[in-house]
Structure 1
Amino acid sequence: MEEIPTLHPTKQEFENPIDYLSNPHIRRLGIRYGMIKIIPPENFSPPLSIDVEGFTFQPRIQNLENLDLRNRCRLFFMKQLNNFNRSTRDPTKPMLKVPYSVVEYSGSAHASERLPKKVYFYDIFAELIKDRQAPTDTSQYSRRKLKFRDIFQIRDDSSLWKNISKKFKVPTDSLKQIFEGYIASYYIFLHSLKGNVHAALHNDQYPKSLLSDDEDNLDLGSDSEEDDDEACIICGRTDDPKGTILCDSCDKPFHMCCLTPPLEHVPAGDWICNTCIVGNGYYGFTQDTHYYSLLEFQNYCKKQHSKLLSGRKLSVNELEEMFWNFVTKDHQDALTTVKYGADIHNESPGQITGFPTRAFIPKNLNEDETKDYLRYCDHPMNLTNLPMAHNSLLPLFERNISGMTIPWIYIGSLFSTFCWHMEDQYTLSANYQHQGDPKVWYSIPESGCAKFNDLLKDLSPDLFIKQPDLLHQLVTLISPYDSHFKKSGIPVYKAIQRSNQYIITFPKCYHAGFNTGYNFNEAVNFTMDFWLPYGFGAIMDYKSTQKPCVFDMFDLMINILDSYNKDTLSFNDAFARQCYSSLIVFYNAELKRIRKIQAVVPRQTLLAVNADADDDDGEHDIFCSQCKTICSMAFVLHQLNDTKSGRTYKRRKRNPLTIKQWNEISTTDRNLSVLCTQDFLKTLQNLKSSDDEEACIDDEFYLTKSLEDVDSLMKQVGVKLDK
């Protein structure tokens, strides 16, 4: 596999990193390969500056075999089949122990010996539901329903079975027997949902993976006190005189009257909720309950190294082959488990970064050592400084963004991994290795992204509909050496990062990799002028997958143009014109939607956000309940009606709320929703089609910015640019 370019900037170039990376030649390399490796000048070797005594972290627990996309889909499907069979109480359907059936076949037409071959249930199922006309556009794909043809069409389609037989190299009769014996009944159930699996899934704020055997294996991603274990998953309430039933798979509670159809009494035997039968595709890492010090984790790494390698010393290439063998190996009871200290963002001095900072100066430094230490504190390639370096755009936010403008630390162990992902809002990133064993990286540049997306959706046609933001979750791997990469024409490159080396990822680059042993890295995001179109493109891409943006592009553009208007912007007129052109398109479209809403929603307010305590909770933006986009200029507080019970929720006066409180309404209130202008107009159109003219009478419209102020700025900047 071809390696990414390695660059050796001069001392002067290294001290102006944004200008250096903006060089057209460097940009072309970054866009072509997705990543570049930078080796600093000889005189740059910052000491690892960490409070060893106070620094602790909770690593993630990673089961390598479950990270492979196909392995996970196959195991999910086996669990779903078992849950379906438990729910139907069919005595002829024993619980599956493995996700495949073994058939015998001849390796060639002239071979007399019959060879065993595994045929995975999920692989057959995936071929049956694939839509050969599936659009490549992500936003279209996320709104599709699964394609379930009638069972009789499936059984009678000889051409379909012939194609599957050719692909799997298994006789058609054997495939049909597997389908009838294991899949057909389940397929009929899914067909009854008319392909809309989302209608069968429960909106659970704290989902449980089908691969979790108990609650201890689940990382809820929230404080436990916020999770009401007794509240019905459907209605969110705890009071119900008719009784509550627990799912025998996920152990979640449901009011029997909230189910469709409602249950009159608790059934004999197992009762399984629809989410566990249909499968929501959720998978998350478990956090270790123990807080490790660096020394403790290094000792763990030594033991793990001995356990996995039996004392052998292997090359990076040998370790790479071993890693992908672990990830892609067939279903086994014993999983390969590793630990990774990822996304560590401690807040105390000496625990935020491994680079020298004035907030933490080690003891016992002499005068020369202190002078050298302070030199590194101010260097622009110190990752605490890079996001705010000259000609970066992020300083215009005038606030810190954890994980983006403030570095996160990563402490690796042998075979711990970071899965395929892009950086938030397609920004650039810089990763520096302070010490330890090499880290292996893989990159898919922007030119291969569409093909890579298509490949993953072809391998798992149901999973990306259930989990449209799957590749933002950093929990999925597929080997870059997989034959599908070459068949699909996906460009993929490799890098080996060692101590005192940087890896720079460019916008819209998929990257993944693993650690070959203990190491200490940190990473941060940054931007430059050529990133601007990527930032706007991320808004629409994120809406389609319901991934929240990390920062508001509208606010960034407002700040840029305000600085330009006050002659404090360091960029030239051409860049200001680009920002103005991008912003005016967004502004005019939003303004048009606002005018439509103002005509139908009677209660309108210029939002006065209560900023009390907002400095501590780190929330600066209000998010839409549906698409999760930032409500940059306006939103509607939409009152929901409970059509099952006939309840309506009357408007009540609200005191000024903090941004955190608005977002709690957006994510947890089942009677209210916060809707961006686009989603409210869609909701309004649906209500009109259902002749529910009174549905919006209690809605409230909020402007988050003064239209007059924004309009005035746009006019002033337009006049200045014209001159």
Structure 2
Amino acid sequence: MEEIPTLYPTEQEFRNPIDYFSNPHIKRLGVRYGMIKVIPPEGFRPPLSIDMENFTFQPRIQNLENLDLINRCRLFFMKQLNNFNRSNKDSSKPMLDKPYTIVDNLDSAHPSERLLKKVYFYDVFSELIKDNEVSTDTLPFCRRKLKFRDISQLRCDSSLWKTLSKKLNIPACSLKRIFEEYIASYYIFLHSLNKNVHTALHNDQYPKSLLSDDEDDFDLGPDSDFGSGSEEEYDDDACLVCHKTNDAKKTILCDSCDKPFHIYCLTPPLECVPAGDWICNTCIVGNGYYGFTQDTHDYTLPEFQKYCTQQNLRLLSARKPSINELEELFWSIVTKNHYNEITIVKYGADIHNELPGQITGFPTREFIPNNINGDELKDYFEYCDHPMNLTNLPLAHNSLLPLFERNISGMTTPWIYIGSLFSTFCWHMEDQYTLSANYQHQGEPKVWYSIPESGCAKFNELLNDLSPDLFIKQPDLLHQLVTLISPYDSNFKKSGIPVYKAIQKPNEYIITFPKCYHAGFNTGYNFNEAVNFTIDFWLPYGFGAITDYKSTQKACVFDMFDLMINVLNKYNEDTLFFNDAFARQCYSSLIVFYNTELKRIRKIQAIVPRTTLLTVDGGLNDEDEEYDIFCSRCKTICSVAFVLHHSSDSKSIRTYKRHKKSHLSVKQWNEISTMNSKLSVLCTQDYLNAIQNLNNVHGEEPFINDELYLTKSLKDIDLLIKQVGVKLDR
């Protein structure tokens, strides 16, 4: 696999990183490979400045076999089949302990060449539900549709079974037998849901993974307190449908996820609590959820280094393999499908402590280690102020993020990463497609893989093809950092996906460019940290992320509209450091975005009787550091306006009036839809879509109690646009 370019900037270039990464030559390399490696000039070697006595962290627990996309889908499907059979009390269907069956490949040319072959239930199922007529969607996160056909049509479609037989290299008669014996009744159940499989899932704020049942058996090694600190454990007795805790005698617990439901809230409702096992629809259909569990032990760095030494002995048996050998071993562990061997590793990821000496490994003036004194202190302070110190890079000259005038954790403030052997970071892009810088302070190498922007659409299409149902249930799956597929998988080459590799060692930077998928793993103990930053050519990517995120219901980290407002305000005040060309680009982007929103606002004002301008006194100055109000439906930031939408139910109206009197904070606005299922905060686009799609059988005006809220003064925006336009014309 080709490695990414390694660059050696001069001292002057290294002190002007934003200008350096904006250089057309560097930009071309970054766009082509997705990442570049930067070796600092000779003499740049900042000391690790960390409070060793007080710095602690709780690592994540990673089961490597479950991270592989196909492995996880196969295990999910086995659980779903078992839950379906338990729910239907079908004793003729044995509980599956493996996600596959074994058949004799009768199509072999010679009897001596016959072989037993594993056939995975999920592989058969996923091929049967694919809609291969994929729409030409311009969105990079477009999802395949599921195609649940009538069972009689499915059984009679000989061409379908021939195609499936050729693809899986299994005789069609064997595939039909497997389908009838294991899958058919479950397929009929899913078909009965009118093809909208995801609508059968219960809206759970704290979902539980179907794979968590096995976690009690994990061998985590010494000093582990695994289990009690799980992200999935919550003391929540409220019914998942109505969110109320009353009627304990009419509450039933799912025997798979232990979630509570009122029997009369179910669809269809139950008359009484049934005897024996009862499984909720989410555990039968499968919600696709998978998340990492946190270890409850607070590790110091020496303790974690000791754990890493024991981990190396356990997995490598005192061998010292090369990087290539470790790479081969890692992917063999991740992609193996024995399902009876579990490899657990720990990763100190996304550590964002807040005390001096615990925020970053770079020198800072807020924390000076005791061993730094005398002549060393001058060099230490120089490192404190260096632009490639990751506490400074987001705020460097010509960076855009300082225009927010607030810290964004993980983006403008670095996060620390403490790796162990085979701990991994899964395929993902940076938030809002920003650039990122990752620096290794000490330890064993980190292996990186990159898929540049040119390969993103093909990569998305490949993953959707491999697991069509999972991306319907989890549209933001690739934002969750829990999914791997080996870049050496044959599907990569077949799909024409460009992929590159990097080996990062201490005192080296990895820079990721906009819209680059990246993943990787650690070859032993190491200490890294990372931060995000932006440069002028990133701007279109930032706006593109808004559209892409809406399609996957991922929330933006910051508001692009606010950024443009701040840029143009500074330009209008002659305090903007960027040139006129950049100001004109921001001006054009703002006008397009604002005019689209303004048209929607005018349409809503013709429908909704009330419009209210939110002010600071009305709750936008939030003490909980929530700055943006999000749409309940698509999770986009309501940059200019939103509608508080609720039914004509009297209780909903009383709740709304009580809220109105209390001067809601941003946090409270974002909690509205979870506090009362009759209320929702909708962006202007989703509100207009909701009105258009409303099936109003009773004839009343459904919007009579809705209210339009403006988060910004339209007059102020109009004035700013006019002033900047005049200045640019000069």
2:531 is matched with 524
Q: Is the 8 A contact 2:360 2:416 kept in 1?
A: yes
* Residue aligned with 2:595, SS: helix
1:76 is matched with 76
Is the aligned partner of 1:605 residue 2:615? no
CA distances 1:643-690 after superposition (whole Å, capped 9, x unpaired) = xxx975444142211111111114443231111111111122233654
1:378 is matched with 385
CA distances 1:680-701 after superposition (whole Å, capped 9, x unpaired) = 1112223365455332222222
Q: Is the 8 A contact 1:145 1:195 kept in 2?
A: no
More off after superposition, 139-148 vs 51-60 = 139-148
Aligned with 1:657 (options 653, 656, 664): 664
1:27 is matched with 27
Q: CA deviation at 1:719?
A: 1.1
2:219 is matched with none
1:445 is matched with 452
* Residue aligned with 2:288, SS: coil
CA distances 1:379-432 after superposition (whole Å, capped 9, x unpaired) = 000000000101111111111100000000000000000000000000000000
Q: CA deviation at 1:304?
A: 0.3
Instruction: State the alpha-carbon separation in 1 of the partners of residues 83 and 324 from structure 2.
Output: 42
Counterpart of 2:34, as a letter, is G
CA distances 1:452-505 after superposition (whole Å, capped 9, x unpaired) = 000000000100010000000000000000000000000000000000000000
More off after superposition, 101-110 vs 652-661 = 101-110
More off after superposition, 391-400 vs 235-244 = 235-244
* Residue aligned with 2:297, SS: coil
Q: Is the 8 A contact 1:219 1:285 kept in 2?
A: no
Instruction: State the alpha-carbon separation in 2 of the partners of residues 610 and 176 from structure 1.
Output: 66
* Residue aligned with 1:433, SS: strand
Instruction: State the alpha-carbon separation in 1 of the partners of residues 148 and 349 from structure 2.
Output: 40
Instruction: State the alpha-carbon separation in 2 of the partners of residues 249 and 345 from structure 1.
Output: 34
Question: How much identity, in percent, do the aligned residues show?
Answer: 76
Is the aligned partner of 1:387 residue 2:394? yes
Q: Is the 8 A contact 1:637 1:699 kept in 2?
A: yes
Distance change >3 Å, CA 338–CA 531, structure 1 → 2: same
Q: Is the 8 A contact 2:476 2:553 kept in 1?
A: yes
Distance change >3 Å, CA 143–CA 340, structure 1 → 2: closer
Distance change >3 Å, CA 185–CA 101, structure 1 → 2: same
More off after superposition, 669-678 vs 150-159 = 669-678
2:191 is matched with 191
Instruction: State the alpha-carbon separation in 1 of the partners of residues 10 and 421 from structure 2.
Output: 34
Is the aligned partner of 1:669 residue 2:669? no
**1:319-468 to 2 correspondences below 5 Å:** 319-468=326-475
Distance change >3 Å, CA 339–CA 133, structure 1 → 2: same
Distance change >3 Å, CA 523–CA 690, structure 1 → 2: farther
Q: Is the 8 A contact 2:609 2:707 kept in 1?
A: yes
* Residue aligned with 1:702, SS: strand
Q: Is the 8 A contact 2:106 2:171 kept in 1?
A: no
CA distances 1:238-278 after superposition (whole Å, capped 9, x unpaired) = 12377111100000000011001100011121110000000
**1:59-458 to 2 correspondences below 5 Å:** 59-105=59-105, 108-135=108-135, 137=137, 145-213=145-213, 221=231, 229-240=236-247, 243-458=250-465
Instruction: State the alpha-carbon separation in 1 of the partners of residues 307 and 98 from structure 2.
Output: 32
Q: Is the 8 A contact 1:611 1:659 kept in 2?
A: no
Counterpart of 2:590, as a letter, is L
Instruction: State the alpha-carbon separation in 2 of the partners of residues 520 and 456 from structure 1.
Output: 31
CA distances 1:136-170 after superposition (whole Å, capped 9, x unpaired) = 53759767652101111111111111111111111
Instruction: State the alpha-carbon separation in 1 of the partners of residues 143 and 486 from structure 2.
Output: 28
2:222 is matched with none
More off after superposition, 261-270 vs 613-622 = 613-622
Aligned with 2:518 (options 494, 507, 511): 511
Instruction: State the alpha-carbon separation in 1 of the partners of residues 183 and 23 from structure 2.
Output: 57
2:509 is matched with 502
Q: CA deviation at 1:306?
A: 0.2
Q: Is the 8 A contact 2:449 2:519 kept in 1?
A: yes
More off after superposition, 698-707 vs 678-687 = 678-687
Instruction: State the alpha-carbon separation in 2 of the partners of residues 672 and 190 from structure 1.
Output: 30
Counterpart of 2:383, as a letter, is Y
* Residue aligned with 2:115, SS: strand
Q: Is the 8 A contact 1:106 1:112 kept in 2?
A: no
CA distances 1:500-520 after superposition (whole Å, capped 9, x unpaired) = 000000000000000000000
2:223 is matched with none
More off after superposition, 140-149 vs 172-181 = 140-149
Distance change >3 Å, CA 409–CA 692, structure 1 → 2: farther
Instruction: State the alpha-carbon separation in 2 of the partners of residues 252 and 28 from structure 1.
Output: 51
Aligned with 1:555 (options 526, 551, 562): 562
* Residue aligned with 1:538, SS: helix
Counterpart of 2:168, as a letter, is F
Instruction: State the alpha-carbon separation in 2 of the partners of residues 706 and 453 from structure 1.
Output: 39
Counterpart of 1:652, as a letter, is K
Q: Is the 8 A contact 1:59 1:288 kept in 2?
A: yes
* Residue aligned with 2:558, SS: coil
Distance change >3 Å, CA 413–CA 141, structure 1 → 2: closer
Q: CA deviation at 1:108?
A: 4.0
Q: CA deviation at 1:603?
A: 2.4
Instruction: State the alpha-carbon separation in 1 of the partners of residues 675 and 345 from structure 2.
Output: 34
Q: CA deviation at 1:305?
A: 0.3
**1:580-619 to 2 correspondences below 5 Å:** 580-609=587-616, 617-619=624-626
* Residue aligned with 1:29, SS: helix
Q: CA deviation at 1:191?
A: 0.5
Instruction: State the alpha-carbon separation in 2 of the partners of residues 592 and 630 from structure 1.
Output: 17
Distance change >3 Å, CA 567–CA 46, structure 1 → 2: same
Is the aligned partner of 1:534 residue 2:535? no
CA distances 1:118-137 after superposition (whole Å, capped 9, x unpaired) = 00000000000111112353
Q: Is the 8 A contact 2:62 2:346 kept in 1?
A: yes
> Cα RMSD between the aligned structures?
1.9
Instruction: State the alpha-carbon separation in 2 of the partners of residues 178 and 442 from structure 1.
Output: 38
Instruction: State the alpha-carbon separation in 2 of the partners of residues 236 and 101 from structure 1.
Output: 41
Instruction: State the alpha-carbon separation in 2 of the partners of residues 381 and 186 from structure 1.
Output: 56
Distance change >3 Å, CA 307–CA 69, structure 1 → 2: same
Q: Is the 8 A contact 2:436 2:530 kept in 1?
A: yes
Instruction: State the alpha-carbon separation in 1 of the partners of residues 678 and 143 from structure 2.
Output: 25
2:47 is matched with 47
Q: CA deviation at 1:445?
A: 0.1
More off after superposition, 133-142 vs 241-250 = 133-142
1:6 is matched with 6
Instruction: State the alpha-carbon separation in 1 of the partners of residues 250 and 304 from structure 2.
Output: 48
Report how many aligned residue pairs link the two structures. 717
TM-score by length of 2: 0.95
Instruction: State the alpha-carbon separation in 1 of the partners of residues 111 and 409 from structure 2.
Output: 62
Distance change >3 Å, CA 296–CA 140, structure 1 → 2: closer
Q: Is the 8 A contact 2:444 2:522 kept in 1?
A: yes
Instruction: State the alpha-carbon separation in 1 of the partners of residues 115 and 312 from structure 2.
Output: 37
* Residue aligned with 1:491, SS: coil
Counterpart of 1:524, as a letter, is V
Counterpart of 1:503, as a letter, is I
Q: CA deviation at 1:193?
A: 0.8
* Residue aligned with 1:112, SS: helix
Unmatched tracts of structure 1, length 5 or more = none
Aligned with 1:472 (options 466, 479, 492): 479
Instruction: State the alpha-carbon separation in 1 of the partners of residues 321 and 24 from structure 2.
Output: 39
More off after superposition, 611-620 vs 513-522 = 611-620
Q: CA deviation at 1:541?
A: 0.2
Distance change >3 Å, CA 692–CA 197, structure 1 → 2: farther
Q: Is the 8 A contact 1:98 1:331 kept in 2?
A: no
Instruction: State the alpha-carbon separation in 2 of the partners of residues 487 and 649 from structure 1.
Output: 57
